[in-house]
Amino acid sequence: MLRGSAYKSLEDLRGKRACFPSELSTSGYIFPLYRLVELGYIKPPADPRQFFGEVIYSGGYAQCWEALKRGHVDVTIMAGDVPTSLYWEALNNSRILEVQGPIPAHAVLVSRDLPSDLRKKIIDALLDLNKKPELMRRFVSAIFIRFEQRSAEEHLGPLIRALEATGLRDKYLKG
C-alpha cells in the first residue's frame, strides 16, 4: 500500500481492492495466499476473494505498482525479482505490512547429458558470480541473494508445502 494510506494492518484491507501479478506467480500469488492461510484470513482451497473485495491480475509487478499508484487498488504484492529501479521506487513509496522469504526462485538447470567437465565449469561459473553481488543484482533481480546448488526436492519443497497448505496442489500439479 502507498506510504500515506490510512491502512495500518492487514486486517484493515479486508474487503478492499488487491492486485496480484499473476495466478501463475510463485512469489506474487502462491506464497502470498500461503501467508493469508497461515494467518487464518482464508481457508483452502485458497482464493484471495475470500479476504479481498476485488482482485485483479495485472500481468506483472510493474503493472500492479502502477495500479496502486493510480488508486485503482488499495494493496499490491511486490517481489525482489524486478528491476532495481522498480524495487526501490516501490519500497521508498509504500508501507509494508507483511514480508515473506526467501521464496524458491527461478532455477537454472544444467543438463546431465553435457560432458561432466563442461557441466562443472558452467556450475562453477554461476556460483562464482556470487562474489559479485552488484552484477548479480543487475543480472537477476534487485534483491537477488545468491546462486545455490540444490536438488529439485530441496528447491521445490517449500513450494510443494505452500501448494498443499493452500489446497492448490491439484490445480497446479496435475498428474
- Specify if 135 maps to a domain: no
Within a domain: 101:
yes
- In this prediction, residue 144 carries a pLDDT of 66
Residue 144 belongs to some domain of the structure:
no
Do the domain assignments include residue 120? no
Contact 31, 172 (CB under 8 A): no
What pLDDT shows up at residue 96? 92
Summary count for the chain: helices (H), strands (E): 7, 3
Residue 109 pLDDT: 81
Q: What pTM was computed for the model?
A: 0.84
Could you list the pLDDT tens digit for every one of the 175 residues in the chain? 899 999 999 999 999 999 999 999 999 999 999 999 999 999 999 999 999 999 999 999 999 999 999 999 999 999 877 888 898 899 999 999 998 887 877 778 888 899 999 999 999 998 998 898 888 777 766 676 678 888 888 888 999 999 999 999 999 987 5
5 domain residue, yes or no? no
At 46, the amino acid letter reads: A
Distances (CA, A) of 74 to 18, 36, 39, 127, 143: 6, 17, 20, 40, 24
What's residue 39's pLDDT?
96
Domain with residue 164: its CATH number is 3.40.190
Q: Is residue 165 part of a domain?
A: yes
20, part of any domain: yes
Q: Give the number of domains in the chain.
A: 1
Assigned domain for 93 exists: yes
For the chain, first and last CA: distance in Å? 38
- pLDDT for position 152: 83
- In this prediction, residue 102 carries a pLDDT of 78
Q: Range of 25's domain?
A: 10-105+152-172
